[in-house]
Structure 1
């Protein structure tokens, strides 16, 4: 699809873009081409919204490097707000039921899945392990290790569980057990993320778009994983990364390059060019 020029039925006014494996490379680098393309998109008048599973703390340095000023969607849609050096400004907060979250954490620990959970600031776990270490590699932020006798008092926006290779069946069993209590997504083979029911990037971006007097047809979405699927299907223009899952590639109307090839930059430049063509030559 990337070999065909991008044409639009209507101009795109807002682009919601995933972060890990979309804006970032697999080793969590932000390529210069991506930074430049985001600046170009913003200068053209596009609203650029990060829509990520990351916490506000983990997104903040990336958003700052990209110069993002529009609200951000974090925790797969459980928290939406404006990020700032001197404090964040929440717009919508959808924490999990604390008793059910504690039960999920206990069951994940029984399956040796090393759960960690995220509050408004910071992440927590009962033990260091694969999930905690992955989060540290991805974000540079460590989890606070707390005693399993301590009550969970902070609001919980997301529970992350990571299974070592060979334990995928345990993750799927956990997902099946809690499918009615939580929104659960698998953004890669060994990873499970749980949030409050009906939380999604799609719902959060739809609320932001409505607040900006924009419709789905005014919106584009770029992503690679299961937690991007609903957003890509909803947006007027859904774009899969070249490294996207098979399901994401099927759902998308257009496909860009991989994250290693700055595919997000390619997509943003294509949107800017298509918008400019429409402005100059009228709708097609």
Structure 2
């Protein structure tokens, strides 16, 4: 099959644990773009924390942000499509999280907000500093003020070391929200219409490309909707067991350069010649 598009997750996939992109991966992505492949990124991050990598890879197509809650166009610097959490739903959700003593972070059109400082907010500030990203993080203790100042909310992230409580929370929210674990201790909550898969389908429609001619790389359960959509789902060795079970192929973990080696084969040969696993 001749593939036309490549969508790549960032954290745990393209980025190493040190949040770097290996040279082999960079070169292969450049090779794919130069050979006519439509390449972009899909992440749970907001666009501010994705753009340094977009610039580094010299990508120009819209990117999928906050787990598919919106698509951002780097050329126009505008949001193209979005699915936000309604004010009513947000109020109920944050009250529930507050009562359960969960630490949460809000990603919105007006920036990033939290009720109190947490390990996650400190991590965000460190990420922004490392990649020199413009990011505004505000701590607002009062819940009513926090809701009033948030603007259009794309995602609420809940972080907890209590994995059992986080799984229970995820299950309780499934009826009214999209709730996916991006890592075992981070739960991403968006509107029901906001998934990476839904956003990827919109992105493909805009590019006039079939999902069957698309490759997706991922590692977390929040990548599952993309894997169900595309013709070639490729998981990292560090991916969740569920995602590995959905993959056509498993490449090296995110600290290796399996993405680049695989892409080079695809570009040069039109298809890979590997069975199930692909390690470099």
TM-score, length of structure 1 as denominator length = 0.87
In terms of fraction of residues, the more strand-rich structure is 2
Cα distance between partner residues in 2 of 1:90 and 1:160: 20
Cα distance between partner residues in 1 of 2:72 and 2:85: 18
Cα distance between partner residues in 1 of 2:49 and 2:104: 18
Per-residue CA deviation, residues 110-135 of structure 1 (Å, 9 max, x unaligned), is 33321010112420001001221232
User: Contact between 1:57 and 1:121, CA under 8 Å: does it hold in 2?
Assistant: no
User: Contact between 2:72 and 2:78, CA under 8 Å: does it hold in 1?
Assistant: yes
User: Contact between 1:131 and 1:160, CA under 8 Å: does it hold in 2?
Assistant: no
Matched, 1:70 2:61: yes
Q: Secondary structure at the match of 2:187?
A: strand
Matched, 1:102 2:91: yes
Matched, 1:194 2:185: no
TM-score, length of structure 2 as denominator length = 0.88
From 45, 48, 54, give the equivalent of 2:36. 45
Unaligned runs of 5+ residues in structure 2 are 130-134, 273-280
Matched, 1:146 2:137: no
Match of 2:152 in 1: 155
Cα distance between partner residues in 1 of 2:245 and 2:173: 27
Matched, 1:31 2:22: yes
Shift of residue 276, structure 1, vs aligned partner? 7.9
User: Contact between 1:183 and 1:194, CA under 8 Å: does it hold in 2?
Assistant: yes
Matched, 1:263 2:254: no
Shift of residue 229, structure 1, vs aligned partner? 1.2
Shift of residue 249, structure 1, vs aligned partner? 1.3
Aligned length, in residue pairs? 264
Cα distance between partner residues in 2 of 1:144 and 1:32: 35
Distance 1:35 1:218, change over 3 A: same
Cα distance between partner residues in 1 of 2:125 and 2:266: 34
Match of 1:4 in 2: none
Match of 2:120 in 1: 131
Shift of residue 209, structure 1, vs aligned partner? 1.1
Shift of residue 142, structure 1, vs aligned partner? 5.9
Distance 1:142 1:129, change over 3 A: farther
Shift of residue 211, structure 1, vs aligned partner? 2.1
Matched, 1:184 2:187: no
User: Contact between 2:113 and 2:146, CA under 8 Å: does it hold in 1?
Assistant: no
Cα distance between partner residues in 2 of 1:76 and 1:231: 10
Shift of residue 258, structure 1, vs aligned partner? 1.3
From 50, 54, 64, give the equivalent of 1:59. 50
Match of 2:106 in 1: 117
Q: Secondary structure at the match of 1:255?
A: strand
Cα distance between partner residues in 2 of 1:179 and 1:259: 29
Cα distance between partner residues in 2 of 1:196 and 1:147: 24
Cα distance between partner residues in 2 of 1:189 and 1:276: 33
Q: Secondary structure at the match of 2:117?
A: coil
Matched, 1:205 2:200: yes
Per-residue CA deviation, residues 29-78 of structure 1 (Å, 9 max, x unaligned), is 22222222211111111000101111011111111111110110001111
Distance 1:229 1:139, change over 3 A: farther
Structure 1, 39-48 or 93-102: larger mean CA deviation: 93-102
User: Contact between 1:53 and 1:76, CA under 8 Å: does it hold in 2?
Assistant: yes
